[in-house]
Structure 1
Amino acid sequence: MPYWERNTIILGLGSLIGGTYYLVMVLIQSMAIGAVAPPSLFTFISYLVLQIAISAIGVSVSTARASKGGELAGLPGGMDERDTLVKTKSEAGYGHLVSAVMFLALAAWFIHQNANLLFHSVVVGLVFGELGRAVIQLVNYRRGV
């Protein structure tokens, strides 16, 4: 599996694990108080630390493996033309996906008018956007953009 494809899977797993952690923590807190839990700085920061730690450790191991195998040798910035095109298309898709999810989260405000739910919806929307970016990127790699 190529370096950038492997990193996409690692970053996607980091988002999936971190996002699942955040969602479970919010659900536990919400069940304890019987309503949508207010945003917790501890929950939010621990989610960020978990996601960043998984991503950073995974990418570091992947980069060490690629460097040892000479996988990135001779590539400016470690990317060839195909990698650059896949990244550009994936980032464009990510932008559209996040815009749509944020629009839905904000539009839902008019239905529920709950600031706590709005905050959690935006965080979960960003997680879904990142997972969507990973899927789009993997599809582009497999499809042969």
Structure 2
Amino acid sequence: MTRKDQARLYTISDLASEFDITPRTIRFYESEQLLQPESRESHGTRHYGERERVRLKLILRGKRLGFSLAESKSLIELYNADSDNTEQLQRFLELIELHRRQLQRQKQDIAVLEQELDLAEQRVRNAMPGSTAN
């Protein structure tokens, strides 16, 4: 069997470099049981297969979308258990809707805070000596 016939393996450094994260981040995901190296050499070098590379990509995508690690983990576990991915896709849609509602609430909260800051700023400016509003 040639090297080309073997499944591609990645070191922790390979994955950290590819995804612009630290090896410590990958070790953290391991400790949270989100990733599992396929093998470890006697001197501790971890090797990850394509499956773990894809899982890492999904974890980081979920993070960018605002998903918690628990939410990402549940989606990944559904992927492994659901042969046609229907349950996973449905859960993904639910999480998207949940996060969309949270973002809408945050946008409303920010708008209210901006109005309060504008009012506070105006009161302070009006209270300053020499203000034309006095």
Normalized against structure 1, the TM-score is what?
0.30
Structure in which a larger fraction of residues adopt helix: 1
Q: Which has the higher contact order (CA 8 A, sep 6+)?
A: 1
Structure in which a larger fraction of residues adopt strand: 2
Normalized against structure 2, the TM-score is what?
0.32
